[in-house]
Structure 1
Amino acid sequence: MCRSIKTLRPPALAEEATEDEMRAAALQYVRKVSGFRAPAAHNQEAFDRAVDAVAGATAELLGALEVRGQAARRAGQAV
């Protein structure tokens, strides 16, 4: 696994992951899987689509995860 991809869910990340953080993780993942740091022009579109898809899946995953204690902490912060 890419060691440069950091955990984006609480409690490892104190606040909600930003779009930039999710995109950076997606880019690292696609680079690792494809073996390209910077794809050739004829592969750029496929590379970019893959980064977009992985970033979208990451946002969906993080939005759906329930982390123990997070709901209680958020409720306490809203008061």
Structure 2
Amino acid sequence: MGMCRSIKTLRPPYAESVTEEDMRAAALQYVRKISGFRQPAPHNAAAFDKAVETIAAATGELLSTLEVRGGRIS
């Protein structure tokens, strides 16, 4: 049984617009996959949530600085 679906590509031309929710969903899928937990135990919840927020922020930073086909993604 798979624990999570594939993470979608969030940059053009694969995605026309990307929301904070899209980035958080991708971060959540990533953390679930690498941790092996769909839902962490209470004693791991803070670490799990912090990882999701950190990865979502890094995703936003990455997408805002990537250049695709000579133009910036914003």
Shorter-chain TM band: 0.7 to 0.9
What residue number does 2:48 align with? 47
Q: Give the structure with the higher percent helix.
A: 1
**Structure 1, gaps ≥5 residues long:** 72-79
d(CA) in 2 for partners of 1:33, 1:48: 14
Matched residue pairs, number?
Answer: 70
**Which of the residues 4, 7, 10 maps onto 1:5?**
7
TM-score, normalised to structure 2, is 0.86
Q: Give the structure with the higher percent strand.
A: 2
TM-score, normalised to structure 1, is 0.81
Deviation at residue 20 of structure 1 after TM alignment? 0.2
The structure whose Rg is larger is 1
Moved over 3 A (4+): none
The residue identity in structure 2 corresponding to 1:24 is A
**Structure 2, gaps ≥5 residues long:** none
Deviation at residue 14 of structure 1 after TM alignment? 1.6
Task: State the secondary structure of the residue aligned to 1:31.
Answer: helix
d(CA) in 1 for partners of 2:71, 2:6: 25
Q: What is the CA RMSD across the aligned residues, in angstroms?
A: 1.8
Task: State the secondary structure of the residue aligned to 2:61.
Answer: helix
What residue number does 1:38 align with? 39
